[in-house]
Chain A
Amino acid sequence: MATTFAAAIRDGLATALAVDDDVICFGLGTDDPKGVFGTTLDLHKQFGSDRVFDMPTSEAAMTGFAIGAALNGMRPVMTHQRLDFALLSLDQLVNNAAKWRFMFGGKRGVPITIRMIIGRGWGQGPTHSQSLQSWFAHIPGLKVVMPTTAEDAKGLLLGAIFDDDPVIFLEHRWLHNMKGEVPAGDVRSPLGKARIVRQGDAVTIVAMSYMTVEALHAVDHLATQGIACDLIDLRSIRPLDWPAVIASVQKTGRLLALDSGHLTGGVAGEIVARVATDHFASLKSAPQRLAAPDVPEATSPALTKNYHVRAEHIAEAVGRMLGREVEIASLVAQRTFPHDVPGTWFSGPF
C-alpha cells in the first residue's frame, strides 16, 4: 500500500522505538496534535512520554543532552521543524558530536540522529528555507542523509538511527506528501549508497532530496526527445557514493550536478571538483552544476519565481551540454499550480 513520505518517517520511528528500548524521540512539538507534520503523530501514546517527548526551545542544550544520553547507551532521535532552528546547536554538533570518537581515541561514539526539515515556498523566506547540507557534510565525523522517496525515508531513517555515528537527516517539506510503496518492518538501508533512478548514456545527473523530483521530470521529458540520462539520487551526502557517480560518468562522459543548497561551497561543487580532478579523462565536456543562487531566499512570491532550480532548467542544461535544442514549453505547461507550493494539497500557512 502506498503511504506518504511523512507517514513513512513515522513508520520508521515507530519501528525503531519498538525494536530497541534505547531509542528515544524528542523535539519541539513531537507530541503535539500535529506531530511535526504527522511524522511523530501519537507516538507518545504508543511508547510513553519517557521515550517520546516535547522539549523547551533550547536547541543547543537539547542537542548536548542527546549526545550525553547517547554516550550513556541511548539512541536519541531529535527533530527540528526547520533546519534553521538547528543552527543554534551547531557548537554541540560540530565540537562535540562530530569529534567525540576521534578526540577520545575511539573510546566511544555518539549514535544520535538529528532530523531537520528544509522549508521552501509560501514565503518561508530567508530564515525558514535554508538547505545547508554542505555545512554538515563539511564536518568530518558527521554523516548526512537526504532521502527522496517514502521507501528511502523509512529505510534510511532506520539506517541512521542504528548507525553508530551522528547522522544529520534532512527532510524536504515538499516531499512530505509524496506517496510510495514502503515495506513493513525493520528495513534498515545502509548509509552511503546512491540509487540509480533512470539509466541512460547521454548525461549523468546527480541529485538529492527534492532536486531528484525535479530531475525526474526533466529526465522523463528528455527521454521523449530521444535523450536518455543517468539519474543518480545520492540519498547520502556523507558518505557519498563515489563509485556510483564515477561509474556513471565513465559511461556518459558528461556530468550535471544538482544542489538544493547555494552554489558557492555547495555539494554540487564538491562533486564537480572530485570528478574533474580525479577522472578528467572520462569527461567529454566541462562538468556543470545547478544550485540555488548565492542569495538568501526572499519571502515575496515574486522573488522566488526564478530562485529554485526546476525541471526546465535541468532539461535546458542537458541540451546545452549536448549541443542540441530541447523542447521545454510542454514541460513547463504541465505545471498546474503556483510555483511556490509543492502541489494542490498545500494552501499555507506552513
Chain B
Amino acid sequence: MNPETSRRLLFDMLRIRSVEETIAARYGEQKMRCPTHLSVGQEAVSAAAGAVLRPTDLAVSGHRAHAHYLAKGGSLKAMIAEIYGKVTGCARGKGGSMHLVDESVGFMGSTAIVGGTVPVGVGLSYPMKLNQTGQISCVFLGDAVPETGVFFESVNFAVVKQLPVLFLCENNGYSVYSPLSVRQPPGRKLYELVAGFGLKTHHGDGNDARAVYAALSEGVAAIRAGEGPRFYEFETYRWREHCGPMYDNDLGYRTMAEFEAWKLRDPVPALQRALITEAIVTAADVADMQAEIDAEIEEAFAFAESSPFPPPEDAFTDVYASAAG
C-alpha cells in the first residue's frame, strides 16, 4: 500500500471517530432531536471502503450510516446540519441521521428499515452493467441483514445477472441487544452461507484497516472487471449503545471482558501506531491531522447551529414530483 493511502486511511478513521465522539458528547444538549446510531469502534471498514471506491461508484446504507456517508465523500456540514434538523442538511431536515444522502459523491441514500436498501443497491448496478460504465454499487450492511428475505432475494438476482455489486457486511456481533447466537445457528459463518448463492465471499478482521483495504481492492477490481457480485464480511465491534450516545455495558447483554478485549483492538490507534513505527507518519503529522479534523468539526457544528430550520411549509413539499397529488 502506498504511503498516501495509509495516511488517508488514518485521516479518515480519525475524522470519523472524532465526528462520532463529538455527536455523543453534544447529544445531551437536546438539539439533535432524532435517533442516532454511532459507529465508534467500526471505523476501519468505512475508511477502507471509502479509499477503494471511486467518487463515481454508488453506495447505499442503513441506519448506522454516518461513517459510510463520510467515507464516500459526503459533506460533514450537511450531515451535522441534517442531524440538527436544519434546512442546510443533506436531506433538508426531512430525513435526519438515519436518512443521509449526497448524490454528488455517489452516496445514494441510507434508510432505516433493515435490509431496505439492499435490493436498491442491486438495482443501482443494473444500468452500470448494461452501459458498461465501469462503476460498481456498494451495499453497506450489518450482520442482521442476512436474516432478511430481501437480502437473499437480492443476492440471488445479482448473481443471476452477474451485476457489479459489492455487498459489504460489518459484522459487529449484535443486532440491537441480540447476539448472533439467537439469530443464526452455532458455527454459522455468514460468508459461507452467502457463498451458497454462487458468488465469491471473503471474511476478515474488520479492525485492520489496511487488511480491509487490501481485500476490498482486489475484490472491487474483480467486480469492476465484470466478474459479478461479491460479499465481504468483516468482524468488528460497536462500542457505544445501539442507538444514542451512551455506553450500555451496564445492561449486561454483553460482558465487560468482551468489550474490553475489543477496545484493546481499537482500530484507530492501531493504525496510528503502525504508521508511526513504519515512519509513514510522525506524531506531529497525526497532531496536524487531528487539529485539521477538530477545526472542521467545530465549523460543521457551528454551521448546523447557525443554520435556519426549514420553513414550516417545507413539511408539505417533496411528496410528489409536482405540486399535484
Interface residue ranges, A against B (CB under 8 Å):
28-29, 32-34, 53-61, 84-85, 87-88, 122-128, 293-296, 298-307, 340, 347-350
Contacts and interface: CB of A to CB of B under 8 A. Distances in A.
Interface of B is mostly: loop
Nearest to B150: A88
B176 interface: yes
A128 B312 contact: no
Nearest to B241: A349
B251 interface: yes
Interface stretch (B27-35, B124-132, B154-162, B223-231): B27-35
Interface stretch (B13-21, B52-60, B89-97): B89-97
A19 B148 CA distance: 34
Given A125-B96, A303-B314, A340-B33, A32 B85 contact: no
Q: Most B CB atoms within 10 A — which of A124, A125, A300, A303?
A: A300
A91 to B, nearest CB: 10
Interface stretch (B109-117, B212-220, B273-281, B287-295): B109-117
B93 A302 contact: yes
Contacts of B319: 294-296
A295 B315 contact: yes
Interface of B: 27, 30, 33-36, 85-86, 89, 91, 93-99, 111-115, 144-145, 147-150, 175-178, 182-184, 243-245, 251-253, 309-310, 312, 314-316, 319
B95 A295 contact: no
A28 B178 contact: yes
A300 B178 CA distance: 30
B30 to A, nearest CB: 7
B86 to A, nearest CB: 7
A85 B93 contact: no
Contacts of A29: 176-178
Contacts of A61: 149
Given A123-B33, A350-B243, A33 B148 contact: no
B243 A349 contact: yes
B148 A58 contact: yes
Given A58-B148, A85-B113, A300 B27 contact: no
A126 B99 contact: yes
B34 A122 contact: yes
A350 B12 CA distance: 29
B112 A122 contact: no
A57 B85 contact: no
A300 B310 contact: yes
5 contacts: A123-B35, A125-B112, A305-B312, A348-B33, A349-B243
A350 B182 CA distance: 23
Nearest to A84: B113
Name, among A125, A127, A340, A350, the residue most crowded by chain B CB atoms within 10 Å (CB to CB).
A125
Nearest to A34: B177
Contacts of B27: 348-349
Contacts of A295: 315-316, 319
Contacts of A122: 33-35
B171 to A, nearest CB: 14
Contacts of B35: 122-124, 128, 348-350
Given A88-B149, A299-B96, A348-B27, 15 more contacts: A28-B175, A29-B177, A32-B253, A55-B183, A58-B149, A88-B150, A127-B112, A128-B98, A298-B93, A299-B94, A300-B93, A300-B310, A349-B35, A349-B36, A350-B35
B10 to A, nearest CB: 30
Contact of A347 (B30, B36, B95, B115): B30
